[in-house]
Amino acid sequence: MKKLSSSDADLHIAGEALKAGLLVAFPTETVYGLGGDGFNRYSLARIFEAKKRPRFDPLIIHIAEMDALDRVVHRDALPFSLREKTSVLSETLWPGPLTLVLPKRPEVPDLATSGLNTVAVRFPSHPVAQKVIAYSTCAVAAPSANPFGYLSPTRAEHIEELLGDEIDFIVDAGSTDIGIESTVLDLTQEPVRLLRPGGMPRERIEELIGKIEDLGNIREAPTGAPQAPGMLSSHYAPKTPLVLLTRDEMLRRVVSGKDAGPCVYLFFDGKTREESDVITDTVDRAIFTLSERGDCVEAAANLFDLLHRIDRLSKGVIYAQRAPERGLGTAINDRLSRASVRGTVQRGCI
């Protein structure tokens, strides 16, 4: 693996590498992606191998100009109302952290879409991502650059540590802004469905196209059975078991002081931390806060980096406080819920 900077010369190297079928990790405004040519079966197969990603979990294709959408998507296959919604969303919210699932063109390899007749597409706003894609002249398949099921990378170091041997280049442009994956929206049927909450708040989407439907509460899903492709109940998980608590449960948990062993408290905000009894780190307890001032955007940006750091401490358990259920808070809670699935057994000890 070779590291590249965000200089124009290096981004040209990244673009050429993608054209040649190699794998390039690069930053987007959400998280770092692991890019390969979306029309090259060899590159697509290598992405699945590198991530140990199951073949039933389809990839998002990234574009860097509006005209590229119709190379990937068959818009005419949509009824008029959905075609209109697609135009409104893509023209208003792209480039940005929104992925649209649309009917696919037959030229898009089945490997990219896990054999579905739909394809997920996104136009990222990060200037480095845009240049890498533009210089590659490809439509770039780019899932998050992490081993399947583990925390997404928000810094180049996260990728080096976990996937460094599997990929050809990493473009290092520092921390990503949003820090949480894109919102995924299914536009192939009415009502439009939110498949994954993410960096584009649901409220913003509903302002433009009206009410959208939820995929459902993932915690009610039968274990192991995805409700939509790739929507596994356990995902984005640190190695350390995580128990997700409401604000009140978190305060009770801390105040009861029953912790037997080493643990981490991950507070959503500084106010809750101050209301609790934990003042400082001890040998057994580490304390982290997602956003001192309780801001969901700041908390989302910190989420994966903090979880990477917490995982390196190898404590017995992470107690994490839920975010408020609005804006990016919904996406934060979705990631924490999926991270907590293995820890549900532990809910008994709240």
Nearer to ligand AMP, 15 or 97 (CB): 97
- Residue 229 near which of Mg ion, ligand AMP, none (CB within 5-8 Å, type-dependent): ligand AMP
Query: Hey, what are 323's tokens?
Result: 């975010």
Number of residues lying near ligand AMP (CB under 6 A): 19
Nearer to ligand AMP, 147 or 270 (CB): 147
- Residue 228 near which of ligand AMP, Mg ion, none (CB within 5-8 Å, type-dependent): ligand AMP
The interface region with ligand AMP, picked from 10-18, 110-118, 160-168, 334-342 by CB under 6 A, is: 110-118
- Residue 58 near which of ligand AMP, Mg ion, none (CB within 5-8 Å, type-dependent): ligand AMP
- 10 Å CB burial of residue 153 (0-12, 13-18, 19+) is buried
For 308, residues 6+ apart whose C-beta sits below 8 A from its C-beta are 151, 153, 158, 238
Q: Is the peptide bond before 191 cis (omega within 30 degrees of 0)?
A: yes
Interacting residues with ligand AMP between 143 and 162 (CB under 6 A): 143-144
Interacting residues with ligand AMP between 227 and 246 (CB under 6 A): 228-231
Q: Of the candidates 40, 144, 188, 337, which one interacts with Mg ion according to CB under 5 A?
A: 144
The interface region with ligand AMP, picked from 75-83, 113-121, 240-248, 297-305 by CB under 6 A, is: 113-121
Q: Of the candidates 184, 264, 301, 318, which one interacts with ligand AMP according to CB under 6 A?
A: 184
Interacting residues with ligand AMP between 49 and 78 (CB under 6 A): 57-58, 60
Q: DSSP string spanning 16-52?
A: HHHHTT--EEEE-SSSEEEEEETT-HHHHHHHHHHHT
**Helix or strand (DSSP H, E) at 127:** helix 127-136
The interface region with ligand AMP, picked from 115-123, 129-137, 252-260, 329-337 by CB under 6 A, is: 115-123
Cβ 238 vs Cβ 307: under 8 Å:
yes
Nearer to ligand AMP, 32 or 319 (CB): 32
**330 near Mg ion (CB under 5 A):** no
**By C-alpha distance, which of 301, 334, 339, 304 is closest to 319?**
339
Report the alpha-carbon distance of residue 65 to residue 166 in Å, rounded: 29
Cβ 4 vs Cβ 10: under 8 Å:
yes
Q: Of the candidates 6, 90, 113, 233, which one interacts with ligand AMP according to CB under 6 A?
A: 113
- Residue 64 near which of Mg ion, ligand AMP, none (CB within 5-8 Å, type-dependent): none
Q: Minimum Å distance from CB 246 to ligand AMP? A: 27
| Cα dist from 57 to 94, 118, 338, whole Å | 24, 13, 16
The interface region with Mg ion, picked from 72-80, 144-152, 223-231, 326-334 by CB under 5 A, is: 144-152
Report the alpha-carbon distance of residue 138 to residue 112 in Å, rounded: 14
Report the alpha-carbon distance of residue 153 to residue 68 in Å, rounded: 27
Report the alpha-carbon distance of residue 189 to residue 192 in Å, rounded: 6
**Residue with smallest beta-carbon separation from ligand AMP:** 230
Q: DSSP string spanning 191-228?
A: SPEEEE--SS-HHHHHHHH---EE---GGGSPTT--SS
Report the alpha-carbon distance of residue 294 to residue 285 in Å, rounded: 22
Phi, psi of 194 (to 5 degrees): -85, 110
Report the alpha-carbon distance of residue 127 to residue 133 in Å, rounded: 10
- Residues in contact with ligand AMP, shown as a per-residue x/- string from 193 to 212 under the rule CB under 6 A: --xx----------------
- Residue 119 near which of Mg ion, ligand AMP, none (CB within 5-8 Å, type-dependent): ligand AMP
Nearer to ligand AMP, 13 or 138 (CB): 138
Nearer to ligand AMP, 143 or 238 (CB): 143
Interface residues toward ligand AMP, by CB under 6 A: 57-58, 60, 101, 113, 116, 118-120, 143-144, 181, 184, 195-196, 228-231
Q: Point out which residues bind Mg ion (CB under 5 A).
A: 144
